[in-house]
Chains A and B, each alone.
Chain A
Amino acid sequence: MLAEVDQKLVLACLKMIPQQYISADTSRLTLTLFALGQLDLTKNLKEIEISRANWIDWIYAHQYLTENNQNGGFRGGLFSGHKFDKNGNYKKDEYDLPHIAMTYAALLSLLILGDDLGRVNKTGVINGLKLLQSENGSFKPCEDSREFDLRFVFCACAISYILNDFSGLNVNKVLEFIVKCQAYDYGFAQNLNLESHGGSTYCALASLKLLNKLDLIDKKATLLWLLKRQEDGFRGRINKPPDTCYTFWIGASISMLEGTKFVDTVPLKTFLECCKTKYGGFGKSENCHPDLLHSYMTIAGLSIFGIEEGLDDLNCELNLSKNSFETLKNSCNWNLS
């Protein structure tokens, strides 16, 4: 079994991860998402039942609070130096800000843990989005950043979708920006004029899907670009080597364009088998250490292509299991239709 039912490595990672992960110190909530997401897709969440309530509190401790809800969201870690508070904290100093990708990761992780998002300061989060959109429609991750690109457009769309409120963004400008990011080869680039890229293509398609606007683009040409990324495994860019994470980025994109039936899963499976490590988990390619991101994205890909039985289905545009999507639909008080 590729996805490994007992998820030994992930359970160890949830306990503690090695020092090589310090580069993720400001984005620990993404690690949380990748670890919990694996347990969710492999239907192993019962293993962590004892910690569930504590972990929900721990995630809420990252919440950014403001007096008049003029801003909100989540920090990526507890590195700013607040006293731990399971309700979150107000701004500590000028360097203490919420980050849009971390808000996305927090909301998803909470849903995976079965939380109803009742303690999320919804108004603050939506108002926070308004501070991040640029003139051309793109988004930056936090107020004092200059990194505008498609990744954060996707985060803004996913957050708005989850909270069922798109008033934090100028949707027309978002659409305009996404369409302009499509490169001459029909893949999408992270920003205007850049090279087409599997990750950006996912961000573009998922945003369009969440906005119900996939018809704005040439789907046929985009699908062909995506299918052409397969060698045995998927590659993120033209003439780059395959990498397991693109099983998700490209796979989910293909799925949104209803093209999974065109993919040859036999060589894909062989490639993924080579990238599985003896400790469990997946590295980005053969002979690499396993890491949480690549392990999660491989398992998500196995689910998308139905390569392994017993995995939960994936909602590709949110990057969330069917089971946790049900939590969103049924438990959150703004009921998605």
Chain B
Amino acid sequence: MSQTDSSDEEVEFELDFLLYNDIQPTPQDDGPDRMLKDKKIELNFVLFYLNVNVLKNLISKKKKLAVAPIAYPADYKKAMDIFRTITTTNEQSKRTLYLTEFIIRLNPAHYTIWKFRENLVKKGVTEINEELNFTEALGKLHPKSYQIWHHRQWLVNNYIDLILPIQEIEFINRLLKYDTKNYHAWSYRQWLVQKFNLFKLELEETEGFILDDIRNNSAWNQRYFVFKMREEGFQNETDFENEINYCISKIKLAPRNESPWNYIRGIIKLFGKNPAEVKVYVSLCEDYFQKNLPISNALISLLEILENKIKSEKNDDFQSEALQICDKLIDFDYVRRNYWTYRKQLLLDANSH
């Protein structure tokens, strides 16, 4: 039985089916249709596509009971047949632990197997550290599987004394290397940051992520999360201004990047400010507008400010500038030209009343 390890090398995991000889298998009963039960069919993608026409024609000739049956790999079927029996006998042992690992490696989305494994961990059939290594190895192979992340979170939450929060952040960082926008990783990370109050560290961490990739919207979102959820929020006006300046410096590096534009609007709102009063922000937008640069997010920001102003005071200057912005958006943001034409019409309609 091979052990999982957390190195980048993938270990082939083989199951010795002889270990389970005494367990009466429970086959899946997919209905009276015998086709799947009688024949061993190894249908991989290539074979499948070569036979699309044959398979398609079969359907009209013979009634089928199961819808879209999966051509299970023989080992998966064999292992599942054993598993269906042990959920009833509830055998909690090393050999059932191996069985769960074998199935999970083939199908990490199998939530029933994960639940069974969770009970094995509770029972002490495996060491917590080994289980952490297992989830890490699996996470690298299947980073988008919800179950792996939920299992990890359950482990950390239940065996909190055995875990150093900072090591958990390092674990997430190792997995984020494969995909810096992994939704599950960021979700788990938020839980961890809140659970262990790691906000201070996290602010620096997001800075690192943004430095690596200024377009990583997950990292921008995480930064917003820190300011929103940390107890002190923004400590004072200077704290807020520093953040605005940080964001503006990032916008200037890549002005077409949508992430910091959304972020700066979010931060201004979070601090309870009126965007029109944040001078550095307004002049940044106006600068792009005056220079006639195709930075649609600057124009959108400016349009929002002007529309708010128009609401509170009728002023022809505001109105004509807003219309100009719409014209530029129709031009620069071509794919959304129908939308900007509509927004322009709204302005004209409002003015004629």
Interface residues of A (CB under 8 A from B): 8-9, 11-28, 31-32, 35-36, 47-48, 50-51, 54-55, 57-59, 61, 78-84, 92-96, 109, 142, 144-147, 183-185, 190-191, 193-197, 224, 227-228, 230-232, 237-240, 259, 261-264, 267, 279-280, 289, 292
Chain B residues with Cβ under 8 A from A196's Cβ? 221
Complex CA–CA separation, A81 to B339 (angstroms): 54
Complex CA–CA separation, A309 to B26 (angstroms): 48
Q: When A18-B48, A147-B150, A262-B342 are in contact, do A81 and B84 touch as well, CB less than 8 Å?
A: yes
Instruction: Quote the shortest CB–CB distance from B219 to chain A (angstroms).
Output: 9
Instruction: Quote the shortest CB–CB distance from A76 to chain B (angstroms).
Output: 9
Q: Does B45 contact A82, Cβ atoms closer than 8 Å? A: no
Q: B44 at interface (Cβ–Cβ under 8 A)?
A: yes
Complex CA–CA separation, A256 to B337 (angstroms): 20
Q: Does A95 contact B68, Cβ atoms closer than 8 Å? A: no
Q: B252 at interface (Cβ–Cβ under 8 A)?
A: no
Q: Pick from B80, B106, B338: contact of A261, CB below 8 A.
A: B338
Complex CA–CA separation, A59 to B30 (angstroms): 11
Q: Does B257 contact A57, Cβ atoms closer than 8 Å? A: no
Interface residues of B (CB under 8 A from A): 26-32, 36, 41-45, 47-49, 51-53, 55-56, 58-60, 63-73, 76, 80, 84-85, 87-88, 90, 106-112, 115-116, 146, 150, 153-154, 181, 183, 186-187, 190, 215-218, 221, 224-225, 228-229, 257-259, 262-263, 265-267, 269-270, 300, 334-339, 342
Chain B residues with Cβ under 8 A from A267's Cβ? 335
Q: Pick from B68, B90, B224: contact of A35, CB below 8 A.
A: B68
Chain A residues with Cβ under 8 A from B44's Cβ? 18-20
Q: Does A184 contact B265, Cβ atoms closer than 8 Å? A: yes
Q: Does B67 contact A32, Cβ atoms closer than 8 Å? A: yes
Q: Does A84 contact B215, Cβ atoms closer than 8 Å? A: no
Q: Pick from A11, A80, A83: contact of B56, CB below 8 A.
A: A11
Instruction: Quote the shortest CB–CB distance from A316 to chain B (angstroms).
Output: 19
**Pairs A-B, 5 closest by C-beta atoms:** A184-B266, A81-B84, A185-B262, A12-B55, A262-B339
Chain A residues with Cβ under 8 A from B26's Cβ? 81
Q: Does B70 contact A21, Cβ atoms closer than 8 Å? A: yes
Residue of B nearest to A183 (CB): B221
Number of A-B pairs whose CB atoms are under 8 Å? 241
Complex CA–CA separation, A93 to B87 (angstroms): 7
Complex CA–CA separation, A23 to B109 (angstroms): 6
Instruction: Taking A18-B70, A26-B109, A92-B88 as given, write out 8 further A-B residue pairs in contact, using a Cβ cutoff of 8 Å, ordered by the A residue number.
Output: A16-B41, A20-B45, A22-B106, A28-B67, A80-B84, A193-B228, A239-B217, A240-B181
Complex CA–CA separation, A216 to B203 (angstroms): 32
Q: Pick from A32, A96, A184, A191: contact of B187, CB below 8 A.
A: A191
Q: Pick from B43, B66, B87, B221: contact of A58, CB below 8 A.
A: B66
Chain A residues with Cβ under 8 A from B48's Cβ? 12, 16-18
Q: When A15-B59, A195-B218, A264-B336 are in contact, do A79 and B80 touch as well, CB less than 8 Å?
A: yes
Chain B residues with Cβ under 8 A from A93's Cβ? 87-88, 90
Q: When A23-B107, A78-B28 are in contact, do A14 and B59 touch as well, CB less than 8 Å?
A: yes
Complex CA–CA separation, A58 to B68 (angstroms): 11
Complex CA–CA separation, A96 to B88 (angstroms): 10
Give me 5 A-to-B residue pairs in the complex whose CB atoms sit less than 8 angstroms apart, sorted by A's number: A15-B56, A55-B67, A146-B153, A195-B217, A262-B338
Chain B residues with Cβ under 8 A from A57's Cβ? 31, 65
Q: Does A228 contact B70, Cβ atoms closer than 8 Å? A: no
Complex CA–CA separation, A93 to B88 (angstroms): 6
Q: Does A237 contact B217, Cβ atoms closer than 8 Å? A: yes
Complex CA–CA separation, A27 to B107 (angstroms): 12
Q: When A21-B70, A93-B87 are in contact, do A146 and B150 touch as well, CB less than 8 Å?
A: yes
Q: Does B52 contact A84, Cβ atoms closer than 8 Å? A: no
Chain B residues with Cβ under 8 A from A92's Cβ? 87-88
Complex CA–CA separation, A31 to B109 (angstroms): 15
Q: Does B72 contact A19, Cβ atoms closer than 8 Å? A: yes
Instruction: Quote the shortest CB–CB distance from B146 to chain A (angstroms).
Output: 6
Q: Does A19 contact B73, Cβ atoms closer than 8 Å? A: yes
Q: Does B64 contact A82, Cβ atoms closer than 8 Å? A: no
Q: Does B31 contact A84, Cβ atoms closer than 8 Å? A: yes
Complex CA–CA separation, A82 to B187 (angstroms): 36
Complex CA–CA separation, A184 to B107 (angstroms): 36
Residue of A nearest to B333 (CB): A228
Residue of A nearest to B51 (CB): A12
Q: Pick from B51, B67, B263: contact of A14, CB below 8 A.
A: B67
Complex CA–CA separation, A259 to B350 (angstroms): 20
Q: Does B262 contact A238, Cβ atoms closer than 8 Å? A: yes
Complex CA–CA separation, A55 to B64 (angstroms): 8
Residue of A nearest to B55 (CB): A12
Residue of A nearest to B304 (CB): A221
Instruction: Quote the shortest CB–CB distance from B214 to chain A (angstroms).
Output: 9
Residue of B nearest to A277 (CB): B49
Q: Does A264 contact B335, Cβ atoms closer than 8 Å? A: yes
Chain B residues with Cβ under 8 A from A227's Cβ? 336, 339
* Listed residue (A14, A50, A144) with the most chain B CB atoms within 10 angstroms of its CB: A14
Q: Does A95 contact B63, Cβ atoms closer than 8 Å? A: no
Residue of B nearest to A32 (CB): B67
Chain B residues with Cβ under 8 A from A28's Cβ? 67-68, 70
Chain A residues with Cβ under 8 A from B109's Cβ? 23-27
Residue of B nearest to A194 (CB): B187
Chain B residues with Cβ under 8 A from A11's Cβ? 55-56, 59
Instruction: Quote the shortest CB–CB distance from B346 to chain A (angstroms).
Output: 10
Q: Does A23 contact B108, Cβ atoms closer than 8 Å? A: yes
Q: When A146-B154, A184-B263 are in contact, do A16 and B43 touch as well, CB less than 8 Å?
A: yes
Q: Does A194 contact B338, Cβ atoms closer than 8 Å? A: no
Q: When A11-B56, A11-B59, A264-B338 are in contact, do A22 and B76 touch as well, CB less than 8 Å?
A: yes
Chain B residues with Cβ under 8 A from A54's Cβ? 31, 63-65
